[in-house]
Structure 1
C-alpha cells in the first residue's frame, strides 16, 4: 500500500498541514520541524501525488523544452545546461523534438499546455507570427534560446549571430580569400540561422564584394545540406575559394563533398563552421568554427524562466552571451 501524507505526518509527529507546507517550500516551518518531516519522507519513501498537488497549487514543477533537432551535436548541450539548473530547483523536464517542422512545434506547444507545464524553453526552427500567437493564446511563460522575436516580446538568450558570421567571413577575407560561398538559411528566416546570412553579406558588402547568388545555398543545417550546397556551387561553374557554413554539420557535408570532387580542404577551399559541436574538433580536417556557449545558453535560459515563474524581475530581458572564433585546420 502506498505511503500517504497522513503516514508522513504521523511519523514526524506533526499535522498534515505542516507536511504540506514543507512539500510546498513555504517558509513558515522552522528548521527542526522541517528536518523531522524530511526525515519521515525519506524513511517512508513518500512521493507526493503531482497531479493532485498541481490542481491545488496550479504548479506542476515541470518545464517543457522544445528543440528542433535532438540528433544535432549542438542542442543536447543546451538541454543539459537547462536540465542541470532545473534539477537544482526541483523542476522536472519534458523534452520535445520538432524535427525542424513548424507544424509539429505548434502541436507540441498545445501538448505542453495540456500537460500543465509551468513554462517553456523554446528553440525554434522558424519563429513565425502564428507560433508567437499560439504562445500568447495559451499563456505559456516562455524563454527563447538561440533566437528572438522581432518585437522583443519574449525574453531570450542568444549570441550576436550577425556579428559572429560577419567575423567568420572577415576572417576568410583577411587570409586573402575573396570568392566566398555561403551554405545555410535564408536571411528572412526569423531565427539565428537567417542572421548568419546577413552577417556574411554585410562582411562582403563592407569589403566591396558583390554576393554571387549562385554561390549561396539555402537549405537546412544537416550534413546532406552541405553536400547539396557543393553540388550547386560546382554546377554554377563559378570559382570559389572558401565557404561560410551556418552549422558544423553543414561544414562536414561541404568538406566531404569537396573531397569527393577532388578538392582539398584547406589547400583549394577553406571552410568555416558554426556552433563548435564535439565532432568539429575530431573531424578531418578539424573544423575552424564559431563557438557558441551552448551549456551556458541552456542554464541561463532556465534560470531566467524560473525567476519569471517565481514573479521575480529579470536582470536582462535579452541576454546576449559571448562567442569566440576557434581556429583549427579547415582554413588556410
Structure 2
C-alpha cells in the first residue's frame, strides 16, 4: 500500500501543511519539527509525487545535462562534478548525448523543456545563434560548460582554450621546433575547440613563423582524425617536426600513424595533446598535454545553475579556470 502525505503528517504529529513546507524546504518550520517530519518520511518510506508537486511549485528538482559526445573521456568527469553537487542539493539529473548533431541538440532542449527541468547544463558542439535563440525562446535557465556564446548572454565555465594551445605551441617552439603542424577543429566553428587553432596560429605569428597550409588538418576530436591527419600531412614535401593536437584522442591517432610510417615520437616528431584524459598517462609514449580542471568545471557550473534556479545572485557570470601544461614523453 502506498504511503501518502497524510500518513506522514499523522506519524510526525503535525499538519499536512507542515509536511508540505518541509518537502518544499520552506524556512518557517523549526528544526525540531523538521526532524520529526524527516524521520517519519524515512520510517514510512514516503516518496512525494513529483508530478503533483511540480504542478504546485513549478519545480521538478530535475536538471538536464546535455553533452556532445559520451564516448569522449572528458565528459563523464564533468558530469560527475555536476552530479555530485546536484546530489548535495537533492536535484536529479537527466543526461542527454547529442552525438555532435546540432539538430539532436535542439530536439533535446525541447524535450527537456517538456520534462519541466528546472535548468540545463549545456555542453555544445556548436553555439550558433539559433541554439542561443532557442534557449531564450524556451526560457530555460542555462549554464554553458566548456564553451561561451558570442555575446556572452549565458553564464559559462570555461578555460582559455586559445591561451592553452598558445602555451602548448610555444613550449614546442622553445624546445626548438620550427615546422609545427595542427590537427583539430576549424577556427570559424563556434565552440571552444575552434579556439584551440587560434592559440596555435597566434603562437606561430608571434614567433614570425608562417603557417604551412599543408600542415593543417581539420575534422573531429576523435582518434581517427589524428590518424588521417598525419597521413594527409605526410604528403607534404616538408615534413613537420612537431604536431599540436586539439585532443588527446587526436594525439594518440597521430602517434600511431607516425609509428606506422616508421617515424619516431618524439625523436623525429614531437606530439602534444589536449585534455589530459587518463589514457594520455598510460599511452606509449606518455602524452605531453594540456590539462583542464574538468571535475571543477562541472561542479562550479552546477552551483551556478542552482543559484540561478533559486534566483540567487551569481558572483561571476563567466568563470575562466586555469589550465596546465603536463610534460611527459611525447615531445623532444
TM-score by length of 1: 0.99
Q: For residues 2-42 of structure 1, what are the alpha-carbon distances to aligned partners after superposition, in whole Å with 9 as ceiling and x for unaligned?
A: 10001101111111000000000101111111111111100
Provide the secondary structure at the position in 2 that maps to 1:107.
helix
| Offset at residue 207 of structure 1 (A) | 0.5
| Offset at residue 237 of structure 1 (A) | 2.8
Aligned twin of 1:130: 130
Provide the secondary structure at the position in 2 that maps to 1:235.
coil
1:186-201 maps to which residues of 2 (within 5 A)? 186-201=186-201
CA distance in 2, matches of 1:176, 1:243: 13
Aligned twin of 2:208: 208
1:83-162 maps to which residues of 2 (within 5 A)? 83-162=83-162
Aligned twin of 1:19: 19
CA distance in 2, matches of 1:98, 1:250: 20
Provide the secondary structure at the position in 2 that maps to 1:157.
strand
1:275-294 maps to which residues of 2 (within 5 A)? 275-294=275-294
Provide the secondary structure at the position in 1 that maps to 2:199.
helix
Q: For residues 185-222 of structure 1, what are the alpha-carbon distances to aligned partners after superposition, in whole Å with 9 as ceiling and x for unaligned?
A: 01011111110000000000001111111111111000
Aligned twin of 1:46: 46
The runs of 4+ residues in structure 1 deviating greater than 2 Å are none
| Offset at residue 275 of structure 1 (A) | 0.5
Aligned twin of 1:250: 250
| Offset at residue 99 of structure 1 (A) | 0.9
Q: For residues 225-259 of structure 1, what are the alpha-carbon distances to aligned partners after superposition, in whole Å with 9 as ceiling and x for unaligned?
A: 10110111012232101000000000000011111
Q: Does residue 314 of structure 1 match 2:321? A: no
Q: Does residue 182 of structure 1 match 2:182? A: yes
User: Which ranges in structure 2 are unaligned for 5 or more consecutive residues?
Assistant: none
State the Cα RMSD in Å: 0.6
| Offset at residue 304 of structure 1 (A) | 0.4
User: Which ranges in structure 1 are unaligned for 5 or more consecutive residues?
Assistant: none
Aligned twin of 2:270: 270
Aligned twin of 1:4: 4
1:26-45 maps to which residues of 2 (within 5 A)? 26-45=26-45
